[in-house]
């Protein structure tokens, strides 16, 4: 996860951006664009759509800076990003010729290179898995997908995810659990879960053995 | 006690609990019970492992980075927002505008007929003038009743601002129509349920007039609970005209109110 600018720096940039200082705002863009893009990518599945949504998100954020009540910037920005992704999805659904077909696994930009010591077979399996996971994410209802992407992919805590989704922590928990359960069933059916489960079980056993 | 604990442990935890256990988000007691269950239940342990694996797979997704810079240019900021702005449903705006116009016209028509229509309604005009917009239709809606026991009349909110102490329903008023519901509750505070009782009996002599008046302004069906009320025969024709007008006003006012309300709700739902 890319660490944003120091909080003090961020506060300064925000203050100047609120007064219309575009350069200051662009400093914030630099700090958050990876995260915003990543969120849009996981929500939309297409790098092109994600790029459009990301651009829209920052435009919208700049235009609505006055309404940011100075709490914490990240959840506010991510909420705008999630909405931009929803808008982009609707826009593309209205124009059927622009398809949201997923790129084949591995064609996702930037390319995911083999890890050190990873055999070609393992790399191929991992790419395939990634495609499967992304397809599985796409089958979720939007609010469940947002919950699971925020918490499990981006690593947000329940409270921050709740702020991004403008809802209660309990709602986040229930959407999250439903999303995970759906993904579990889907991935189980594709056989992707087997090796992963074995690894998890081994880890857990070894943790218990060492008295975790 | 032990039995209860045992049965709690024996019960298969729901998916939501397993999910929360995964995040360490359960209170200690429940967490321990789930762990105890997992220790002894293959099915749930398997399921828990699968959920854990799903979470691991998600967090292992490659951290995609932005393919280019998304810095804003001054030109981009000046240009209008790309794509359709999040506008409230345009038909809704149109509907409320139309309804408001229709309502205003009907109100004007109402006013002019009553102002020119003779003494019977002389007292009524100021009421309708004062009861702007939806309030008056609400009042008319609710105050269909003519009986003294009609609770609805008391709900004539619009009566409140225009409630002088019983000026409308002076027993001496010849037609005493009090066609406006507001008139029917001269001394009633708005929405006071027992106001109907007090309002309904200003004087015995006025009772008939009371009954006649609101009946004359017969409002849309839901409010009308006094079908048995026999309106005086003479002003019946005029009343029917007024009835239609009132119904139209009520409808238009409701539509205007409804669509304005929907617009407000839509705006609120938009994220800030």
pLDDT in tens, B176-208: 443 444 433 444 343 444 433 343 344 444 444
Residue contact A80–B271, C-beta within 8 A: yes
Chain A residue nearest residue B269, CA to CA: A166
> A135: buried, middle or exposed (CB in 10 Å: 19+, 13-18, 0-12)?
middle
pLDDT digits (tens, 9 = 90+) for A85-118: 999 999 888 876 555 554 444 444 445 566 667 7
Instruction: Please compute, for residue A209, the number of CA atoms within 13 A of its CA located in the half-sphere on the CB side.
Output: 6
Residue B4: other Cβ atoms inside 10 A = 8
Handedness of CA B231, B189, B132, B93 (dihedral sign): negative
Measured CA to CA, the distance from residue B158 to residue B249 in angstroms comes to: 15
Instruction: Assess B72–A contact: CB distance below 8 Å, yes or no.
Output: yes
CB contact under 8 A, B53 and A200: yes
Query: First and final CA of chain A: distance in angstroms?
Result: 27
Q: Mark yes or no for CB contact B16/A130 under 8 Å.
A: no
Element (H, E) at B8: helix B2-10
Interface test with chain A among B12, B17, B61, by most A beta carbons within 10 Å: B61
Distance CA B216, CA B213 (A): 5
Please say if the pLDDT value at position B165 is more than 60.
no
| Structure confidence at residue B143 (pLDDT) | 39
Q: What is the pLDDT of residue B245?
A: 75
Q: What is the pLDDT of residue B88?
A: 54
Residue B41: pLDDT above 60?
A: yes
Asked if A118 is an interface residue toward chain B (Cβ–Cβ < 8 A), one would say: no
Across the interface, of A60, A133, A178, the residue whose CB is closest to B61 is: A133
Instruction: Assess contact for B162 and B130: CB atoms under 8 A.
Output: yes
The answer to whether A38 contacts B64, with C-beta atoms less than 8 Å apart, is yes
Q: pTM of the predicted model, to two decimals? A: 0.56
Identify all chain B residues contacting A153, using CB atoms and an 8 Å cutoff.
Answer: 58-59, 61
Instruction: State whether residue B23 sits within 8 Å of chain A by CB.
Output: yes
Q: Which residue of A has its CA nearest to B51?
A: A184
- Tokens in use for B83? 């794509």
Q: Chain B within 8 Å of A29 (Cβ-Cβ)?
A: yes
Enumerate residues 73 to 92 of chain A having a beta carbon within 8 A of any beta carbon in chain B: 79-80, 83, 87, 91
Cβ-defined contact of A51 to B53 (cutoff 8 Å): no
Find the radius of gyration of the CA atoms of chain B: 32
Interface membership of B12 toward A (CB under 8 Å): no
Containing B34, the helix (H) or strand (E) segment is helix B28-40
In SS3 terms, chain A reads as CCCCCCHHHHHHHHHHHHCCCHHHHHHHHHHHHHHHHHHHHHHHCCHHHHHHHHHHHHHHHHHCHHHCCCCCHHHHHHHHHHHHHHHHHHHHHHCCCCCCCCCCCCCCCCCCCCCCCCCHHHHHHHHHHHHHHHHHHHCCCHHHHHHHHHHHHCCCCHHHHHHHHCCCHHHHHHHHHHHHHHHHHHHHHHCCHHHHHHHHHHHHHHHHHCCC
Point out the residues of chain A with pLDDT beneath 50: 1-3, 102-110, 212
Tell me whether residues A173 and B20 touch, CB distance under 8 A: yes
């Amino acid at each position: 996860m890319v660490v944003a600018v120091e909080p003090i720096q961020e506060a300064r940039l925000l203050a100047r951006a609120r007064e219309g200082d575009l350069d200051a705002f662009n400093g914030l863009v630099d700090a958050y664009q990876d995260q915003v893009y990543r969120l849009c990518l996981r929500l939309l599945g297409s790098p092109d759509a994600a790029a459009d949504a990301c651009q829209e998100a920052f435009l919208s954020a700049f235009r609505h800076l006055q309404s940011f009540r100075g709490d914490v910037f990240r959840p506010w920005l991510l909420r705008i990003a999630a909405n931009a992704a929803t808008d982009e999805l609707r826009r593309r659904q209205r124009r059927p010729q622009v398809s949201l077909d997923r790129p084949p696994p591995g064609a996702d930009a930037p390319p995911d290179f083999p890890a050190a010591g990873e055999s070609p077979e393992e790399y191929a399996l991992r790419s395939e898995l990634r495609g499967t996971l992304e397809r599985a994410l796409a089958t979720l209802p939007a609010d469940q997908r947002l919950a699971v992407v925020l918490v499990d992919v981006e690593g947000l805590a329940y409270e921050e995810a709740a702020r991004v989704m403008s809802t209660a922590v309990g709602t986040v928990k229930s959407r999250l659990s439903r999303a995970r359960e759906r993904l579990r069933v889907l991935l189980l059916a594709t056989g992707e879960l087997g090796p992963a489960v074995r690894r998890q079980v081994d880890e857990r056993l070894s943790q218990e053995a060492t008295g975790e | 006690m032990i039995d209860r604990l045992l049965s709690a442990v024996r019960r298969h935890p729901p998916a939501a609990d397993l999910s929360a256990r995964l995040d360490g988000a359960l209170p200690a007691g429940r967490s321990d019970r789930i762990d105890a269950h997992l220790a002894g239940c293959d099915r749930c342990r398997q399921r828990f492992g699968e959920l854990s694996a799903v979470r691991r797979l998600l967090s292992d997704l490659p951290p995609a980075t932005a393919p280019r810079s998304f810095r804003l240019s001054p030109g981009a900021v000046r240009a209008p927002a790309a794509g359709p702005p999040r506008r409230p449903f345009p038909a809704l705006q149109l509907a409320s505008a139309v309804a408001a116009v229709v309502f205003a016209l009907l109100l004007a028509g109402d006013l002019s007929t009553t102002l020119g229509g003779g003494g019977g309604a002389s007292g009524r005009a100021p009421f309708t003038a004062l009861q702007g917009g939806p309030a008056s239709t609400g009042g008319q809606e609710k105050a269909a009743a003519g009986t003294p026991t009609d609770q609805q009349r008391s709900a004539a909110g619009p009566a409140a601002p225009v409630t002088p102490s019983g000026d409308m329903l002076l027993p001496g008023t010849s037609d005493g129509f009090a066609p406006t519901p507001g008139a029917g509750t001269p001394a009633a505070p708005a929405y006071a349920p027992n106001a109907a009782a007090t309002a309904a009996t200003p004087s015995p002599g006025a009772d008939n007039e009371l009954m006649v008046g609101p009946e004359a302004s017969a409002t849309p069906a839901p409010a009308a609970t006094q079908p048995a009320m026999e309106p005086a025969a003479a002003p019946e024709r005029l009343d029917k005209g007024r009835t239609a007008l009132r119904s139209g006003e009520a409808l238009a006012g409701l539509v205007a109110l409804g669509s304005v309300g929907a617009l407000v709700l839509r705006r609120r739902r938009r994220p800030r």
